[in-house]
Structure 1
């Protein structure tokens, strides 16, 4: 949101007579249609100011007095905006600390990577209540999407791994993953990240341990068993594009058969896109799929059965394996035909995992488990704010500047309602400032 600066005309103003010869009209301001001039300037992501505080020394007793810093400067070297900017560059845009340090050095404002880490680590401690509240609210979601991607923790000690392992997991597990979870709640989507030895299903189970709603949620994932949330009951749905990709992989070997499958699924996706474009409610969307998609999916199911029954496809071939995968997961792949609100894809979760993949591509690893937890916290807050079309930088700064208030009632400081809480806090501060002293 670039600031707007009103520029008045140098000679004329609203209501002045027209200077044109023979014209008796008057000038009227066009407030709704001003001429726009955009001026873009380059600035450093992190700026610094050095305050030279005058020092006075008594020539007789030797007492030294130092000038007071200007009001509002603060006592810490890096303020809330610096912490928010470093976190946004690192965990939102995928810039490693050493690249940020190189950029700042080129701008004559050196900021070592170790200093950046200290700043975001301290900020993460202040943001923990908001992060925990996101997990509490995500547990009550009606639809939960989950998936994971591989990650690396450089200094992952045996003690840290044992501590991070979920209950019942094998002690010799060696993998490290970042799992992503998106919850559709009454307030909108919530994104959560967790990095460690646990799989996506174990992360989901940990979130569902907090659930109080009696109805089981809809859970969307791919067909891997590790995405299941343990013993927690859910209405399981599988990703239809994931099953589609298995046909795309063998399109060159089986062009005619794959063309039929892709054409059938294309119409199903178009129906779902039509429902989204029209903003249909979950029951209306379900009715539309039952009218348009159900016959197409039934034709696809009959076609798959006939391929094996008539021995036209070898079960162990690429096409046979694609058909077997779809048949084995058919009930979960077609949940959208039976349950209102059931999605047909896991795209939203795969998109949020791109933040973790971008971090892995650029930074290669987290140094410690603690570093991974800091990254998970910032990625969760940043991406949830983005899902609500809220500027993450402004949100992170606001949370840090009202730490005590956020800790008392974090539910009032979520991305979808924090502006209201901020307005109340600012009004209370203004009233307190205007109140007469006792």
Structure 2
């Protein structure tokens, strides 16, 4: 089953600045709970917190450490909505359901900001997000999106930043304009995950690290989930494994693909220089399909992300490869050192829509956040808790979305995706 255990967090900037060193003992013996959550990333701890608040007894099993995978090493970009367009939902939903999906996408932001305030999570939350256009046609597309959201959903908080105003966001000549979202933003993802885990424990959930699941067996009264040294007997199971879900549910794994993404952190630049690079302190990404994303840190570094690998192979000399990309936007940082370079896998779906559902009436899953996991995971945890508690209408909306298997099977699907992405990379240059 899950093939990693007892591993520390990767040596990232986030691990070096983590503000919670709490460790959770491995599972030993047999315990009983209403719900067993498998995975202590953002989806798992969010589900555990919401379930515990509703009075359920919850045990979380984590094969490594809380926030070990994508939840603790991503770019920290909190992006409202979903990775897919709203037309993806319109293919299988009524207009009223599509509008509800829009509202759920904005609710993801309220969930994050609310949890941070409620539990006093120190994770450097900063509001403001800019999607930057590399070409005039991309800026035109952003105008269309702004107008569509105002017309179809009554949302008027997006604003276009013209080229002559871009200096207020970024000291670079690379972009021709952008779309500003004041409600999205950025944060320290590992500290946010650790803060949610602490809140879940305070609400009554039990987390066990270094507890690799080796077997799940279902029976009439529930499920028996085994680890190397213990067993959980539970009525409900929540699979919050993302790219590792194939170890426990191979059929779900066919609906998602692991994709490598990478981040570097510069040495501290000093407050004045960091502010001069990104005066508004908004998170940013560009408009290409294979995009760059970047932001400032609290201690005045530049965090630069991108170099997406659809082959899952890490670029050779990662720090230098990422540095060369960074200098295309910020050539003025040519003499600046890279202090940290790391990466990891995120899971994407074919249509980039999140994949929530049930394996059985008492086994739930959420996966396929496709780069929007910082906040969409909070919604997943909330909706799973609602559904287990008998209020499934919002969760069931996601089961209306059609998700296809990645073509090529276990052997050929990664090469097939690499070829497909080569086409999109070429389109970025057109």
Q: Pick the TM interval, shorter chain.
A: under 0.3
More helix as a share of residues: 1
TM-score, normalised on structure 2?
A: 0.23
State which structure, 1 or 2, has the greater radius of gyration over its C-alpha atoms.
1
What TM-score comes out, normalization by structure 1 length?
0.23
Q: Which has the higher contact order (CA 8 A, sep 6+)?
A: 2
